[in-house]
Amino acid sequence: METTSKGPSSSEFATPLATHGLNPSGAVHWNLDWKELHGMAVERGEASLTTHGVLLATTGERTGRSPNDRFIVQESGLADDVWWGEVNKSTSSEIFDRLLVKVQNHLDSRDVLFVKDAHCGADPKYSMPVRLITEKAWHASFFHNMFVRSEPSELVNHVPEYTILHAPELMANPKADGTNSGVFVILALDRGLVIIGGTHYAGEIKKAIFTIMNHILPAKGLLPMHCSANTDYNHSALFFGLSGTGKTTLSADPGRALIGDDEHGWSDDGVFNFEGGCYAKLIGLSKEDEPAIFATTRMPGSVLENVILDANGVPNFEDGTLTQNTRGSYPIESIENRTLDSMAGHPKDVVFLTCDAFGVLPPLSRLTPEQAAYHFISGYTAKVAGTEIGITEPQATFSTCFGAPFMPRHPSVYADLLSSKIRDHDANCWLINTGWVAGGYGESSRIRIKWTRALLNAALDGSLDDVIFVEDERFGFEVPTTCEGVPDEILQPRETWSDKTRFDNVANLLAQMFIENFEQYSEGCSEEVLSASPKVLD
C-alpha cells in the first residue's frame, strides 16, 4: 500500500516503489518536509527534541562509519574500474542478491516507509538524481538536509539514477549472508543501487552517495574531491585535509563565502558543491570559536546525532559520553556567509593541510603540479596521543586523496585529473602545516593559529608573489623566506631546532615514511609524479 501525506499520489510519481522490487504493506510517505518528518520521528520514538526544537537522534552501537562492513559488488563492468583491496572490498552478485531480498522483505513488512528524492550536485549540468527509501523518519530528514532539494512540482518526474534501500533495524547473519558482521553497506554501482542495514549512523548514507560520485565523474572528465571550498567572488580556493588539520576552521573566513564544507566537483566550468547541507563534527563546539556552526545547532531544521543534553535540554558539546564523533546536519542555507548557488569559478588556489607532529614540515610551502599530485595521493597527517586509544607517540597516517575510504578508483586517476586542472587553470598549490614547530610533539607546541591564518591570507591574496622562496632540498617544495605577521625563523623549521642533527634524522624518518607509503601507488603513476618524492639525505 502506497500513500502520501500531501501532494501527488504515489501512482503519479515517475518511479514507483515497485521499480525497486518493493510492495510495502504499510503506509509510504513521499517527500515530506522537515517539519512533518521531525514530528513523525518524535511521535514514533525515533528521536527527541532539544529545548530549541532541534531533532536529536542516537545511533546505538555504531556511532561512526563501518569501513570493514562496506563492500562493492564485483560485476563484469567494474573489473578494471575499481581499485580492489582493503578499502574497496569486493563481494559477489550472489551475496548482494540474497541480502537485497532480505532488505526488500524487511522494508515491505514495515508499518511505514519514508521516501525522499533529491539531487547530488549543485551544478545542474552534472547533478545526479538520487533517492532514499528508509524505515526511519529522522534518516529521511538527514537526507533532506544533506542533498540538493528540488521544488515539489519537479519531484513528480524524478527518476533516480541511484537509490539507497535503508534498513537500519535489519541485522545480517554473517555466516549465512557473507558479511563481516550484522552491519552491511553494499554498493552495486552498475545497478544504481545501495543497500544499508544494521547501522543507524546517518553518515553511511552521505558517504555512499559520495563514493558513487567518485566512481562516475572521472569517466566524464570531472574531478570529485573530498575538500572544503570558499570564494571571495573573484577567486575560489580548495582546502584538502584529514581530521584535525584545521580544514573547517581555516575555510571558515569572514571575508570569503562558503561554497561547501566537504564534497565538491571540479568541472570545465569551475567548482560546485555536491551537497545541499553540512555534516559538522560538534564535539568541543563553542559559540566563540565557530559561531556560524554553533548557531545551526539551535535552528529547528537541523538534526543532531549522539549529542548529550543537560537537565534543561540544552546540548552539551563537551560531553562525549556516547562518542567523540557527535554530529549535526543542517541545510547549507543555515550558513549566512555562503554562495547562493553553491558554485564558483575555477580555483586560483589549492591548499593541502597537514598536522605534522614531527615538527619538520614548514608552516607553508609552494608546490609544483607534480608535487601537488604526490601530496594529494599521499594524504599525510599525523596522529598524536589522545586521538586514538594506544597512541603515545606521534604516528604518521596517510589517506590517499585525503579521502581513501570513498575513492573506488586507483588514486592516480584522481591525481592525474587534479594535475591537469591545476595546469589548465594555472592554480597555485600550497602545503600548510598546522602542526608543531621548533620541535616535535611533546617538546614544543603547535603553530599559532594567527600565524597560520596570516600565511594562508598572504597566499590567497597574492602577498607572497614578490617574496623570495628557497627550495627545501629534502622535500623539494619551495618555502617563503618572509611573510608579514609571521616570525621569519618559523618559516624554516630546521632553524627552530636547537639540535640540527636530530632535526635531520627526524626529517629523514618522515621522508622515508612518505617513500614507503607511496610504493603501493607507484604502478600507474607518471614519472613526473614519482620524481616528486622526497629524498633521504646523508
Catalytic residues: 65, 207, 226, 243, 247-248, 262, 327
Q: Are strands 70-73 and 184-188 parallel, antiparallel or unpaired?
A: parallel
Could you give the 3-state DSSP secondary structure of residue 143? helix
d(CA 8, CA 472) in angstroms, rounded, equals: 64
Q: Evaluate whether 19 touches 26 at the Cβ level (below 8 Å).
A: no
Place of cell 553553491: 342
Residue 479 forms beta bridges with which residues? 470
Q: Which residues contact 366 (CB under 8 A, 6 or more apart)?
A: 428, 429, 430, 464, 469, 477, 478, 479, 480
Q: Which residues pair with 211 in a beta bridge?
A: none
Q: What is the DSSP letter of 90?
A: E
CA dist., res. 199 & res. 401, Å (int) = 26
Q: What is the 3-state secondary structure (H, E, C) of 378-431?
A: HCEEEECCCCCCCCCCCEEEECHHHCHHHCCCCHHHHHHHHHHHHHHCCCEEEE
Taking residue 87's Cβ as centre, other Cβ atoms within 10 Å add up to 16
Residues near 361 by beta carbon (within 8 Å), at least 6 away in sequence: 354, 431, 433, 435, 475, 493, 510
Q: Are 534 and 475 in contact (CB under 8 A)?
A: yes
Judged by DSSP in three states, 327 sits in strand
Q: Determine the Cα–Cα distance for residues 225 and 414; give it in Å rounded to an integer.
A: 8
DSSP state of 148: B
Under a CB-based contact definition with an 8 Å cutoff, are residues 228 and 248 in contact?
Answer: yes
User: What does the alpha-carbon distance between residue 114 and residue 133 come to, in Å, rounded to a whole number?
Assistant: 6
Contact 308, 315 (CB under 8 A): yes
User: For 331, how many CA atoms within 13 A lie in the half-sphere containing its CB?
Assistant: 16
SS3 140: helix
Cell matching residue 29:
510517505
Helix (H, G, I), strand (E, B) or coil at 5: coil
Q: Are 469 and 478 in contact (CB under 8 A)?
A: yes
- Quick one: CA dihedral 519, 239, 70, 215, positive or negative? negative
Q: Which three cell numbers, joined as nine digits, stand for 456?
A: 594562508
C-alpha radius of gyration, the chain, whole number: 24
